């Protein structure tokens, strides 16, 4: 077995045990393997080892890489900040957008998805740590955002996403994940959030804690592919 295979086995085992702690199964958690900076041959290796979902954060990189992948569709996730002028390409390249962070961006996605005859599944990105360095809506802004965007027919919000503050120990971010779950549960009681089903949170450092606190999607890069050069 090579390192990639060993890493995948280890990550999946940890996902499973964290899921079981919350009364869920491994299959209830979507592992998004983050392939940014990873070349197509290694991504293909991961796909052959059973990876079903991949995440990229740059349109330009995805555009060059995706045509070289064995599997051309299924779970291609846009996880990085998306500029309005890249939406046209994003809607064509990806199956899921995690990082919707403004009503203007939602409007643009709706427009492009309509042109492509599809309904784009999306998540609302939350800046849960209120960090000035990060994109995402503030906790208090989400309700207004949903009210403003509920009219769009070609974008479907399936839940929330966050990038937690950088911490030395995973335990330090647990309160942020708990806050995300509270927000998610609150929004689920509203008309616009009634169909929410996903919380995308947790990366290589903290995905187990994130799952314990209710994540349904984890975005794991370096724990699978090794440190990015």
Binding residues vs ligand PLP (CB under 6 A): 34, 36, 57, 79-80, 163, 203-205, 219-223
Q: How far is the CB of 52 from ligand PLP (least distance, A)?
A: 17
Displacement of CA 114 from its chain's centroid (Å): 22
Q: How far is the CB of 21 from ligand PLP (least distance, A)?
A: 21
109 versus 218: smaller Cβ distance to ligand PLP: 218
By CB atoms closer than 10 A (0-12, 13-18, 19+), residue 14 is: middle
80 versus 129: smaller Cβ distance to ligand PLP: 80
Q: How far is the CB of 215 from ligand PLP (least distance, A)?
A: 12
97 versus 120: smaller Cβ distance to ligand PLP: 97
Helix or strand holding residue 61 (H, E): helix 59-65
Are 224 and 7 spatial neighbours (Cβ–Cβ below 8 Å)?
Answer: yes
Q: How far is the CB of 195 from ligand PLP (least distance, A)?
A: 23
Q: How far is the CB of 11 from ligand PLP (least distance, A)?
A: 10
Which of helix, strand or coil describes residue 135? coil
Phi and psi at residue 38, in whole multiples of 5°?
Answer: -90, 130
Token pair, residue 43, equals 């991504």
Phi-psi domain of 160 (left: phi exceeds 0; alpha: psi -120 through 50; beta: other): beta
**Integer Cα distance of 38 and 207 in angstroms:** 20
Closest residue (Cβ) to ligand PLP? 221
């Amino acid at each position: 077995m090579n390192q990639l295979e060993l890493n995948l086995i280890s990550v999946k085992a940890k996902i499973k045990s964290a899921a079981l702690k919350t009364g869920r199964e491994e299959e209830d958690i979507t592992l998004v393997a983050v392939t940014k900076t990873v070349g197509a041959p290694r991504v293909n290796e991961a796909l052959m080892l059973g990876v079903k979902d991949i995440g990229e954060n740059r349109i330009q990189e995805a555009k060059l890489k995706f045509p070289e992948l064995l599997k051309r569709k299924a779970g291609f996730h846009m996880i990085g900040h998306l500029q309005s002028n890249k939406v046209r390409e994003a809607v064509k390249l990806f199956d899921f957008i995690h990082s919707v962070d403004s009503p203007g961006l939602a409007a643009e996605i709706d427009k492009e998805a309509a042109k492509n005859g599809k309904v784009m599944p999306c998540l609302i990105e939350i800046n849960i740590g209120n960090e000035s360095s990060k994109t995402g809506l503030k906790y208090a802004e989400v309700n207004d955002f949903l009210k403003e965007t509920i009219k769009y027919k070609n974008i479907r919000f399936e839940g929330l996403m966050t990038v937690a503050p950088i911490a030395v120990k995973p335990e330090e971010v647990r309160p942020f994940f708990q806050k995300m779950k509270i927000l998610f549960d609150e929004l689920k009681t509203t008309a616009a959030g009634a169909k929410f089903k996903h919380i995308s949170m947790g990366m290589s450092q903290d995905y187990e804690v994130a799952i314990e606190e209710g994540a349904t999607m984890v975005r794991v890069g370096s724990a699978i592919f090794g440190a990015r050069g």
